[in-house]
Amino acid sequence: MPVSYKPTFTGRFLFLKKLILLLFLTIFIKNDSLEILNMAEKITKVSKEALELIKKFEGFCAQPYLCPANVPTIGYGATFYEDGTKVKLDDPPITEERATQLLQSVLKTFEKHVDSYARDDITQYQFDALVCFAYNVGVGSLKSSTLLKLVNTNPSDPLIKNEFLKWNKAAGKVLKGLTTRRQAEAELYFKN
């Protein structure tokens, strides 16, 4: 005598759950809307490696000073505080710990801008390099750059390296420090 199979309530429920998931995925695949499935992979914060790279190139200065662009600066290249107040030359000195806190806080603005300007499928290294670049040259310069246009067209385009390297001048003069920084940013961008 053949044995008949009677599905239990749990078995029916699991089957129904799988069917609903399959229908859901089919609809999104059919509409080319897989973005919802990739949301968890979107990068919006710099890594510790990027933070250390910025600190290395900016250097720490406890006292406010005028940077090469004649802008009052403190800590690790900060030109303003968390509340948006601009750094002034008569501001009190800060500790290295305070400078790191200030950098992390100020970087949030740059992360938001890079996140809004760049495509959503860039890697952590690419995001890090763009934030490092923007922190140095400004978000406006990044937004209008050929570098960003190339990133948004094809993040793997080898010409992106050349675009980083073009940003090595201050007042029309090539600066060794900026050349070194742009090379490091380009290497970070293309790191695997």
Active site residues: 58
Distance, CA of 57 to CA of 135 (rounded, Å): 11
C-alpha distance from residue 76 to each of 37, 61, 165, 177, 178 (Å): 37, 7, 22, 15, 16
Main-chain dihedrals φ then ψ at residue 34, nearest 5 degrees = -80, 0
Is residue 183 classed exposed, middle or buried when 0-12, 13-18 and 19+ CB atoms within 10 A define those classes?
middle
Do the Cβ atoms of 66 and 72 come closer than 8 Å? yes
Geometric angle at alpha carbon 157, from 155 and 161, rounded to 5°? 100
Do the Cβ atoms of 142 and 159 come closer than 8 Å? no
